[in-house]
């Protein structure tokens, strides 16, 4: 257990930050899962809206510094690649 005032304050700050970070990472993870499942077996319109929701959640997490901006960019790129493969007409 923390003995000093500053250590107690740091514990409170870390707890608050961790809960806020978990909120944004969990939300992004949920939207990504929804987008992947919709891309796998949904209509192209639904897949596009689900992908845009996931991209928005990733951007918010990256903007707040919860995930690195390159990490968000990589995940968005992979989602868009899957969406493009789905929307591509079969030749």
The CATH number that applies at residue 81 is 1.20.58.110
3-state SS, residue 34:
helix
In angstroms, the CA 4 to CA 67 distance is 31
Long-range contacts formed by 34-43: CB under 8 A, 24+ apart: 35/79, 35/83, 36/79, 36/82, 39/79, 39/82, 39/83, 39/86
Range of the domain at 46: 5-87
- What is the total count of domains within the chain? 1
91 residues of the chain, pLDDT tens digit each: 788 999 999 999 999 999 999 999 999 999 999 999 999 998 999 999 999 999 999 999 999 999 999 999 999 999 999 999 998 876 4
Question: Could you tell me the pTM of the whole model?
Answer: 0.85
CA R_g for the chain = 18
């Amino acid at each position: 257990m923390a003995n000093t005032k500053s250590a107690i304050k740091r514990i409170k700050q870390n707890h608050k930050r961790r809960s806020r970070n978990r909120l944004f990472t969990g939300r992004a993870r949920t939207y990504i899962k929804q987008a992947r499942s919709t891309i796998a077996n949904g209509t192209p319109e639904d897949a596009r809206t689900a992908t845009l929701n996931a991209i928005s959640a990733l951007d918010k997490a990256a903007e707040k510094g919860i995930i690195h901006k390159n990490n968000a960019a990589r995940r968005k790129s992979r989602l868009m690649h899957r969406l493009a493969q789905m929307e591509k007409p079969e030749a």
